[in-house]
A and B are shown apart, each in its own frame.
Chain A
Amino acid sequence: MSEEKNDRLESSNGDVSRRQFLKGLGGGIAVTGVLATATETETEAHPAPEPASASAVQRLRGKVRVRLNINGQEMTALVEPRTTLLNTLRDHLDLTGAKKVCDRGSCGCCTVLVNDKPVYSCMMLAVDAQGKKITTVEGLGTPEKMSPVQEAFVEHDALMCGFCTPGFVVSCTALLQKNRNPSLEDVKKACSGNVCRCGTYPHIFEAALAAAKKMRGA
């Protein structure tokens, strides 16, 4: 686990990733040797499938380096093929906005946008998320510069404990990207996959409608 913690943005911040470091150290064969002892096997997940032994299809096994486009940045992480996008975000990339609550598609706290559609990140594998545009709640706005939906949640007091909030913000954002003038029913439908145990629904719905109004400039 600890060695995976150093997964990071690959290109943007100038840091050298472990893989680049190892590459710089050795070169081809020696590197493979180092990696094999350090992390069992590491497969490069991104390039076109290379022919494997038995079948023409590459099997990803052991540890896999995934490249993800998150909030407009290329990021990489070393994960297992079974690792969900949610665990990758939270445990490998320090993006803890998406919350892990049920880990089985029942609560919506882990909702992110994948190619602008809301998706439960606990139900998607990181390897399957490669090549897609991923937006987490962090990518919508910052505390200093909030998105209209985030701002409306604050203004309308649309949270109590706040655990469900990132998921609702993402679901409402997805709705408003498609539908500039949603009805209360539309908002309820867009939020039907999100659960708030504190029961803040009325304020959430108000916030979404207010954000829509603001975004229309009305």
Chain B
Amino acid sequence: MHAIQYAAPRTLQDALEILQEYGAKARILAGGTDLIVQAGTGARSVDVIVDGKRIPELMHLAFDPADGLTIGAAVPCCRIYEDPQISRRYPGLADAVSIIGGMAIQGRASVGGNLCNASPAADSVPALIAYRATALIVGPKGEREVPVERFCTAPGRTVLGEDELLLSLHLPTPPPRSGAAYLRFIPRNEMDIAEVGVGVSLTLDEQGTISGARIALAAVAPTPLFVPEAGDSLAGSAPTEESFRRAAQIARDASRPINDIRGTIEHRKHLVGVLTRRALERALERARQAG
């Protein structure tokens, strides 16, 4: 077992300096619910753990109707669902963060860590994609913004350079008459990894016709999967069982699952269809309530 160092920088600049010095051997620590096991078992080779929780920007959580929602990369899940305004404005995100592990996980685990860990089954990611979230990345050369659907590149891999870190996630304010939802299927009742997860958002026009929709899937591809054509198929349609079925079929066709202990290809494809339809129904209900 080799020794691991720990640093708790208080500024972004200090954190970036450590990343520059150690490259891939430095890892940012948020809640540690993925990293501590990975570092402990040697699944990730780590020389320096850089605790991000003392950096104010990483712990910042704010909603403003003009700017939308900013989630600092290390903000734990519980702070999102415990904020009544945020969970009312972003119910699809609240759905996802309130099912990540149990209470003891949600008090620590962050959405930023969920994204940076780049598991194809990460629950918050389809919800983020449905909300058009962008990831704000900082590195020695400054800041850049990446849409969340392009953030993960392979299991455990992201667009982050070795000298970069995720600063925050930004979700625009949903337009009026919008709703969203995240649903997943797990083989157990609690505390399991998604066999399939589906995040959707949709917006109605004044006549009640769908003006736009977004659909993203978890655990059916090497990365979280955005299926733009499924959402686009709904634009201009009435929110009917038929249009939802059509969108669900497109999502199902786009999924590329594998067989593993949680489920078979066939079962996962079936679930994509069912969950997409149900998530659309729930999002529609919420859009109508949002008025």
Contact = CB atoms under 8 A, between A and B. Distances in A.
The prevalent SS among residues of B at the interface is: mixed
A102 to B, nearest CB: 10
Interface string A98-139: 000001111010010010011110111101100000000000
A60 B105 contact: no
Nearest to B78: A117
B103 A60 contact: no
Interface stretch (B33-41, B88-96, B263-271): B33-41
Interface residues of B, number: 36
Nearest to A174: B103
Most buried by B among A49, A57, A58, A117: A57
A57 B7 contact: yes
Given A82-B40, A105-B101, A57 B17 contact: yes
A127 B36 contact: no
A192 B190 contact: yes
B78 to A, nearest CB: 8
B159 interface: no
B191 A106 contact: yes
Nearest to A56: B14
Interface string A57-99: 1111110100000000000000011101000000000000000
Contact of A61 (B5, B15, B21, B51): B5
Contact of B108 (A62, A119, A190): A119
Contact of A60 (B6, B29, B107): B6
Contact of A124 (B8, B18, B32, B48): B32
B4 A80 contact: yes
Interface in B1-21: 3-10, 14-15, 17-18, 21
Given A59-B48, A108-B102, A192-B102, A123 B14 contact: no
Contact of B5 (A81, A105, A128, A189): A81
A62 B51 contact: no
B3 A61 contact: yes
B40 A111 contact: no
Interface residues of A, number: 41
Contacts of A103: 40
A120 B3 contact: no
B49 interface: yes
A165 interface: no
A189 B103 contact: yes
Most buried by B among A58, A105, A174, A190: A105
Contact of B104 (A56, A80, A118, A128): A118
A190 B33 contact: no
Contacts of B107: 114, 117-119
Contacts of A80: 3-4
Contacts of B78: 117
Given A57-B14, A57-B17, A119 B104 contact: yes
Contacts of A128: 6, 8, 29, 32, 51, 53
Contacts of A174: 103
A198 to B, nearest CB: 17
Contacts of A120: 33, 104-105, 108
A182 interface: no
A127 B8 CA distance: 10
A57 B191 CA distance: 37
A55 interface: yes
B36 A84 contact: yes
B48 to A, nearest CB: 7
A19 to B, nearest CB: 19
Interface of B: 3-10, 14-15, 17-18, 21, 29, 31-33, 36-37, 39-41, 48-49, 51, 53, 78, 101-105, 107-108, 190-191
Interface of A: 49, 54-62, 64, 80-82, 84, 103-106, 108, 111, 114, 117-120, 122-125, 127-128, 171, 174, 189-195
Question: What are the 9 closest A-B residue pairs judged by CB atoms, nearest first?
Answer: A193-B102, A81-B6, A192-B102, A192-B190, A82-B4, A117-B107, A61-B5, A118-B104, A55-B17
